[in-house]
Structure 1
């Protein structure tokens, strides 16, 4: 009689990360390349590694945190804060992309 051994599959978040189609088809990284891995590193507590992987992760997290908090707590200058956080996030994404592509510095 043959017994089947129970198999335990260990799946990590790396198994579910989507590939960058821009990099796959054109060979050039997009401005969002690295955000999934950076978020995963951030959730694992690897804060410096997350910053190195995708420098715009912290402005994105702060923007999301404020947007969620603003649902429950109304701030007097919420629109101005959102605008500043959005511009900071967009600027961080653009600058980190330009540095990654060796256009800046």
Structure 2
């Protein structure tokens, strides 16, 4: 039993050290050159898996609300309706708002100045 736990931990450690090699590229960013509303989520989850909360929040702040909402909804669905549909809708609304606010903040602080700099009014 102890051997299997050690094996699992070593496999996890090996995978987590090389997880950056398996990240999926963002097709939206590839086509537009601009981050999509979900860009940073994969790196955020990897940082969270390494126990680095600060780095996770730097990569993608809505990752934690997304993961909490996913866990709550999955548990509720597996238990067949422990949570009412209105509570789940509220969780979706809060999480969706966090994603939208994060994306607007990213656009305003990172991309808008670059775009405006490209337009020289004379």
Q: TM-score, normalised by structure 1?
A: 0.80
Q: Distance in 2 between matches of 1:20 and 1:31?
A: 10
Q: Distance in 2 between matches of 1:34 and 1:58?
A: 12
Q: Which has the higher helix share?
A: 2
Q: Point out 4+ residue stretches in structure 1 off by more than 3 angstroms.
A: none
Matches within 5 A, 1:36-75: 36-70=42-76, 71-72=78-79, 74-75=81-82
Question: Any gaps of 5 or more consecutive residues in structure 1?
Answer: 1-9
Q: TM-score, normalised by structure 2?
A: 0.69
Question: Any gaps of 5 or more consecutive residues in structure 2?
Answer: 1-13, 110-122
Say yes or no: does 1:99 pair with 2:101.
no
RMSD (CA atoms)? 2.0
Q: Distance in 2 between matches of 1:73 and 1:22?
A: 36
Q: Report the alpha carbon displacement of residue 72 of structure 1 after superposing the two structures with TM.
A: 2.6
How many aligned positions are there? 94
Deviations, residues 36-87 of structure 1 (Å, cap 9, x unaligned) = 1011111111112111211111110111111121113742x52121111100
